Chain A
């Protein structure tokens, strides 16, 4: 009886992972890996800022906000190209979504490099 709860506790995560692996399309998985990279990069910069130095602060702000901004843009791309959300974004085609994403990202990087110092 004892191992059962642990099995049960692990099983939702395992089943989630399994479901994710099986049901998510490669495209979305590719987006997710990009999101993961952005998240890790942002965390590393934030830790460096609070543990080592926040000087120059503008460099931190631009470096950190580039990851955050890119994350937000990529997340919205993900929700727009997800076939499950097709009902919500009827008039937004995946091509249109990608064009929005690319334009937004280019503008974001323009600001980031201006502010980087």
Chain B
């Protein structure tokens, strides 16, 4: 009896947690299935199903975890306030605190994670470079600030094709002349579609990265052309002289250095690497770039967060349709050389009201009709104001039968990757589907008909003539 009890009890005990875990897993499966059902693998969309909260201002959810040293937590209050104003729920965690966990039951607890603990050497057990990468795989967005100190996050940056400058060498610039330390630099606001057009310069202090040519990298803020990475006090002049003697070799300088760099993974999650955490601080936000002229830091920090948290530049393919010209419904299969019409409806996330609005401004969308290779690749232009968000093209199916795919694959820096693939069979014409009575074939028709007519005449004359012949023959023999 005692044995039986022992066997039974743990089973009953475990029943509850297993159930919840499975529930969590089935939920993610369901969500994934919904994503693939319409043949659009748009991560933003997948997540949009997962969190249909009205108040969400990000397309992927509104919970933010900020990992920051408790004593520095209050340095960034204006940034948090900006996030809260936009509808995010901000939760704090000390780098070494055990809770709240990043991932529970294989499901991320937060939609976005900010790591401002730029100088912390050791983190709690569940915050490791590996766990951060797995968060990205689960479509959690990250905003990571670094400093000139070497930490394990610095080495993680190199996994994203960023090479941080050597430790202890902040970015330095003496231009434009300013009263502060040369490592605190006002940088003119970049002009890019990621950043709202605020002209005010941005105060920056921190390290810099060399960017590789990885296509997933999205440069957001680059160093000014006259900036370089060096030690602030002592030896900086000497090292510069050394570097210039070597023709600039080993010198981290110039506008190709990245300061704030985004990276959009293939599944659509976004991570932003900021070289200096001070950029987000209240101090820099309030610091004036000129007397009476506030800095652009506050706006810039919010813009960077908006991009990182999939608020801005988020697109999705809502639905696609395909049919033969002069028809409205898709066919189960198409015939070679049919005139096909393909339409994709694309919308853009509007963080103001959390809705998806039709988006017609993509000018370089392409459609491929693919069987291993694209047999047809054509521009997919927007229809225009008459049906916003629709992109449509008419093309002739190739003279080739097989299993084809309509593929829209649009990957642009800073934008959500759009991908849609729809499989359709293309069959040769049925035996009665070919054109008949072609004018070019009339000689052959006449040839066949004349042979038949001649055969008929021949037979008639032969049968008629045979009697004559026989009579002749009879006459001869007689």
Encoded as 1 (CB less than 8 Å from any A CB) or 0, chain B from 224 to 262 comes to 000000000000000000000000000000000000000
Q: Which of B432-452 contact A (CB under 8 A)?
A: 434, 436, 438, 440-441, 443-448, 450-452
Q: Judging by beta carbons under 8 Å apart, are B444 and A70 in contact?
A: no
Q: Judging by beta carbons under 8 Å apart, are B448 and A113 in contact?
A: yes
A interface residues, tally (CB under 8 Å): 34
A55 and B434 alpha carbons, distance in the complex (Å): 12
The minimal Cβ–Cβ distance linking B55 to chain A, given in whole angstroms, is 67
Encoded as 1 (CB less than 8 Å from any A CB) or 0, chain B from 1 to 41 comes to 00000000000000000000000000000000000000000
**Cβ-based interface call for B175 (8 A):** no
**Cβ-based interface call for A30 (8 A):** yes
**Cβ-based interface call for A41 (8 A):** yes
- 8 Å CB contact of A98 from B445, B451, B452, B462: B462
A52 and B436 alpha carbons, distance in the complex (Å): 19
Q: Judging by beta carbons under 8 Å apart, are A55 and B440 in contact?
A: yes
**Cβ-based interface call for A80 (8 A):** no
Which of these binds chain B: A8-16, A59-67, A84-92? A59-67
Q: Secondary structure at chain A's binding surface: helix, strand, loop or mixed?
A: helix
**Chain A residues with CB under 8 A of B434:** 56, 117
Encoded as 1 (CB less than 8 Å from any B CB) or 0, chain A from 19 to 43 comes to 0000001110010001001100110
Q: Judging by beta carbons under 8 Å apart, are A116 and B448 in contact?
A: yes
Q: Chain B: which residue is nearest A83 at the CB level?
A: B473
**Chain A residues with CB under 8 A of B455:** 70, 105, 109
Q: Chain B: which residue is nearest A47 at the CB level?
A: B443
**Cβ-based interface call for A48 (8 A):** yes
Q: Judging by beta carbons under 8 Å apart, are A116 and B465 in contact?
A: no
Q: Which of B461-478 contact A (CB under 8 A)?
A: 461-463, 465-466, 469
**Cβ-based interface call for A79 (8 A):** no
Instruction: Decide yes or no: A27 and B440 within 8 Å by CB, A45-B447, A64-B447 being known contacts.
Output: no
A51 and B466 alpha carbons, distance in the complex (Å): 41
Q: Judging by beta carbons under 8 Å apart, are B452 and A109 in contact?
A: yes
**Chain A residues with CB under 8 A of B458:** 30, 34, 74
Q: Judging by beta carbons under 8 Å apart, are B448 and A27 in contact?
A: no
Q: Secondary structure at chain B's binding surface: helix, strand, loop or mixed?
A: helix
A116 and B438 alpha carbons, distance in the complex (Å): 11
Q: Judging by beta carbons under 8 Å apart, are B459 and A63 in contact?
A: no
A45 and B434 alpha carbons, distance in the complex (Å): 22
**Chain B residues with CB under 8 A of A98:** 462-463, 466
The minimal Cβ–Cβ distance linking A51 to chain B, given in whole angstroms, is 11
**Cβ-based interface call for B376 (8 A):** no
A53 and B440 alpha carbons, distance in the complex (Å): 7
- 8 Å CB contact of A102 from B445, B452, B459: B459
A111 and B445 alpha carbons, distance in the complex (Å): 14
Among B434, B452, B455, B461, which residue has the most Cβ atoms of chain A within 10 A? B455
Q: Judging by beta carbons under 8 Å apart, are B452 and A63 in contact?
A: no
**Chain A residues with CB under 8 A of B107:** none
Q: Chain B: which residue is nearest A34 at the CB level?
A: B458
**Cβ-based interface call for B325 (8 A):** no
Q: Judging by beta carbons under 8 Å apart, are A27 and B444 in contact?
A: no
The minimal Cβ–Cβ distance linking B434 to chain A, given in whole angstroms, is 7
**Cβ-based interface call for B454 (8 A):** yes
The minimal Cβ–Cβ distance linking A34 to chain B, given in whole angstroms, is 5
Instruction: Decide yes or no: A41 and B461 within 8 Å by CB, A34-B454, A105-B455, A117-B434 being known contacts.
Output: no
**Chain A residues with CB under 8 A of B450:** 41
A60 and B434 alpha carbons, distance in the complex (Å): 16
**Chain B residues with CB under 8 A of A105:** 455, 459
- 8 Å CB contact of A45 from B438, B440, B443: B443
Instruction: Decide yes or no: A66 and B441 within 8 Å by CB, A27-B469, A117-B436 being known contacts.
Output: no
Instruction: Decide yes or no: A64 and B444 within 8 Å by CB, A41-B451, A70-B455 being known contacts.
Output: yes
Q: Judging by beta carbons under 8 Å apart, are B443 and A48 in contact?
A: yes
The minimal Cβ–Cβ distance linking A19 to chain B, given in whole angstroms, is 20
- 8 Å CB contact of A66 from B438, B448, B469: B448
**Chain A residues with CB under 8 A of B438:** 55-56, 59
Instruction: Decide yes or no: A56 and B441 within 8 Å by CB, A98-B462, A112-B448 being known contacts.
Output: yes
- 8 Å CB contact of B443 from A30, A63, A102: A63
**Chain B residues with CB under 8 A of A41:** 447, 450-451
Among A30, A53, A59, A102, which residue has the most Cβ atoms of chain B within 10 A? A59
The minimal Cβ–Cβ distance linking A44 to chain B, given in whole angstroms, is 7
**Chain B residues with CB under 8 A of A55:** 438, 440-441
- 8 Å CB contact of A67 from B445, B451, B463, B466: B451
**Chain A residues with CB under 8 A of B441:** 55-56, 59-60, 117
- Beyond A38-B451, A66-B448, 8 additional pairs, beta carbon < 8 A: A41-B447, A42-B447, A44-B447, A45-B447, A59-B441, A62-B444, A63-B445, A116-B445
The 3 closest A-B pairs by CB, nearest first: A63-B444, A63-B447, A59-B444
Binding site for A on B (CB under 8 A): 434, 436, 438, 440-441, 443-448, 450-452, 454-455, 458-459, 461-463, 465-466, 469
